[in-house]
């Protein structure tokens, strides 16, 4: 069994630990932000952590009303620009805490007046010591190069940060997330059986919108780095603005399809895709029976999930699929070619 699969299965426990052990610090952050509310939030990250930041952008803007920007680290590392971060919250997200460029963003932001937070899985890392505050992802050592439990831990950190910033999130809802992750893991036998069907897949498209837009990027990344599949990733709106032309009968489409505000646009897209490709696989749940028809396959989490809480359980079937597809293709998902666990860039 791969370490990747082992770590996927560890996610309910890791999520529960992150929430329980970090909550006291989150309460302190809430008092900080009540006294000194930021006018702007900037999130800095790379790779999988950047996908978590993309989720954070949607979540934080939607629930707090504070504008959120994704940092361009090259502004600092290549162009040595100096920005005015007064009254700004800057958050760097890194699994290892040793990402050179995102750490530099946080350092420069701190020098320029920002309140800074590091989100990392490594308590002894550079990032954990760099900011004014730290949110630790309590996932334990992640040995597989393909990040899984640290990604969902970072999503949990974004929910907690939203609460600290005054978002109307009930702590009881956050307490549900480990159990929802457990429900998603029950799909593993179905995912394992389905992976063989895609053994010879070389290209695909992954679609999500709103809170699951980040998951489209993360699922695609997992297929690219562990299965060497070219996986294009889009929102349903962007796909319709031209790229849908590349989808043909042998071009598989993977679609995140929760009920809620994004379903109408996703339903319209699926109607277009149904007329184009023979292979559409949905990730959805019990609350969206309208997602199914005879042309579509689905990983259906066996419980109704509100869209606000869907991103963590929804990515788990995608993680499992990538791990099993890599095995079907004869690859080791724990050691993708040309990759190491810590990537240093400037």
**Which of 75-79, 83-87, 176-180 is most confident?**
176-180
Q: What total of structural domains would you count in the chain?
A: 2
pLDDT exceeds 90 at position 338: no
Q: What percent of the chain has pLDDT over 70?
A: 95
3-state helix, strand, coil in the chain (%, to 5): 50, 15, 35
| Under 8 Å between Cβ of 29 and 133 | yes
Say whether both 148 and 259 belong to one domain.
no
For residue 138, being part of any structural domain is answered with yes
For residue 261, being part of any structural domain is answered with yes
pLDDT per position as a tens digit, 31-66: 999 999 999 999 999 999 999 999 999 999 999 999
Say whether both 39 and 104 belong to one domain.
yes
For residue 341, being part of any structural domain is answered with no
Residue that finishes a domain, picked among 117, 147, 169: 169
pLDDT value of position 192? 97
Residue that finishes a domain, picked among 169, 189, 214: 169
Say whether both 213 and 161 belong to one domain.
no
Instruction: Give the model's confidence band at 311: pLDDT under 50 very low, under 70 low, under 90 confident, else very high.
Output: very high
Q: What percent of the chain has pLDDT over 90?
A: 79
Say how far residue 15 (Cα) sits from the centre of its chain.
14
pLDDT per position as a tens digit, 231-254: 999 887 777 666 776 777 778 999
Instruction: Give the model's confidence band at 344: pLDDT under 50 very low, under 70 low, under 90 confident, else very high.
Output: low
Q: How far apart are CA 104 and CA 102, in angstroms?
A: 5
For residue 215, being part of any structural domain is answered with yes
For residue 89, being part of any structural domain is answered with yes
Say whether both 101 and 59 belong to one domain.
yes
Distance linking the first and last C-alpha atoms of the chain: 35
Burial (CB count within 10 angstroms: exposed 0-12, middle 13-18, buried 19+), residue 154: buried
Residue that finishes a domain, picked among 140, 169, 198: 169
**What is the C-alpha R_g of the chain?**
19
Say whether both 184 and 314 belong to one domain.
yes
For residue 340, being part of any structural domain is answered with no
pLDDT value of position 271? 85
Say whether both 137 and 249 belong to one domain.
no
Tokens matching residue 128: 């954990």
pLDDT exceeds 80 at position 211: yes
Tokens matching residue 103: 């750490």
User: What is the average pLDDT across 331-346?
Assistant: 68
> Which of 150, 260, 123 lies closest to 158, judged by CA?
150
Range of the domain at 193: 180-328
pLDDT exceeds 80 at position 179: yes
pLDDT value of position 27? 98
Say whether both 194 and 247 belong to one domain.
yes
CATH of the domain at 144: 3.40.50.10490
Say whether both 47 and 153 belong to one domain.
yes
pLDDT per position as a tens digit, 139-167: 999 999 899 999 999 999 999 999 999 99
Lowest-confidence range among 10-14, 51-55, 204-208?
A: 204-208
pLDDT exceeds 90 at position 69: yes
Helix residue spans in the chain (DSSP H): 3-9, 11-35, 47-64, 74-77, 100-111, 126-130, 149-164, 171-185, 188-195, 213-227, 236-240, 263-274, 311-328
The helices-and-strands tally (H runs, E runs) of the chain is 13, 10
User: What is the average pLDDT across 168-190?
Assistant: 97
Say whether both 45 and 88 belong to one domain.
yes
Tokens matching residue 239: 């796909």
Say whether both 228 and 313 belong to one domain.
yes
For residue 346, being part of any structural domain is answered with no
For residue 83, being part of any structural domain is answered with yes
Say whether both 287 and 313 belong to one domain.
yes
User: What pTM was estimated for this model as a whole?
Assistant: 0.95
Say whether both 314 and 196 belong to one domain.
yes
């Amino acid at each position: 069994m791969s370490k990747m699969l082992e770590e996927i299965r560890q996610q309910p426990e890791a999520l529960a630990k992150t929430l329980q052990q970090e909550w006291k610090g989150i309460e302190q952050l809430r008092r900080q932000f009540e006294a000194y509310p930021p006018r702007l939030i900037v999130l800095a990250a790379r790779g999988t952590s950047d996908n978590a930041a993309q989720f954070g952008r949607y979540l934080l803007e939607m629930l707090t009303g504070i504008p959120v920007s994704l940092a361009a680290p090259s502004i600092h590392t290549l162009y040595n620009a100096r920005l005015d971060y007064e009254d700004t919250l800057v958050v760097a997200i890194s699994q290892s805490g040793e990402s050179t460029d995102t750490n530099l963003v946080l350092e420069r932001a701190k020098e320029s007046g920002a309140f800074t937070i590091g989100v990392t899985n490594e308590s002894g890392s550079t990032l954990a010591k760099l900011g004014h505050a730290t949110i630790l992802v309590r996932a334990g050592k992640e040995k597989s190069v393909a990040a899984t439990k640290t990604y969902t831990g970072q999503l949990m950190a974004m929910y907690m940060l939203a609460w600290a910033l005054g978002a109307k999130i009930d702590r009881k809802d956050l307490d549900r997330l480990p159990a929802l992750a457990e429900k998603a893991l029950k799909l593993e036998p179905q995912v394992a059986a389905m992976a063989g069907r895609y053994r010879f897949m070389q290209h695909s498209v992954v679609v999500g919108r709103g809170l699951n837009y980040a998951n489209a990027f993360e699922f695609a990344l997992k297929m690219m780095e562990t299965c060497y599949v070219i996986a294009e990733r889009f929102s349903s709106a962007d796909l319709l603005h031209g790229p849908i032309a590349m989808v043909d009968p042998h071009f598989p489409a993977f679609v995140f399809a929760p009920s809620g505000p994004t379903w109408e646009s996703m339903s319209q897209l699926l109607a277009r895709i149904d007329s184009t490709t023979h292979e559409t696989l949905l990730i959805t749940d019990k609350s969206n029976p309208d997602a199914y028809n005879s042309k579509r396959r689905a990983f259906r989490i066996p419980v109704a999930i509100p869209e606000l809480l869907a991103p963590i359980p929804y990515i788990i079937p995608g993680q499992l699929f990538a791990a099993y597809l890599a095995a079907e293709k004869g690859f080791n998902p724990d050691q993708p070619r040309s990759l190491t666990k810590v990537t240093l860039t400037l």
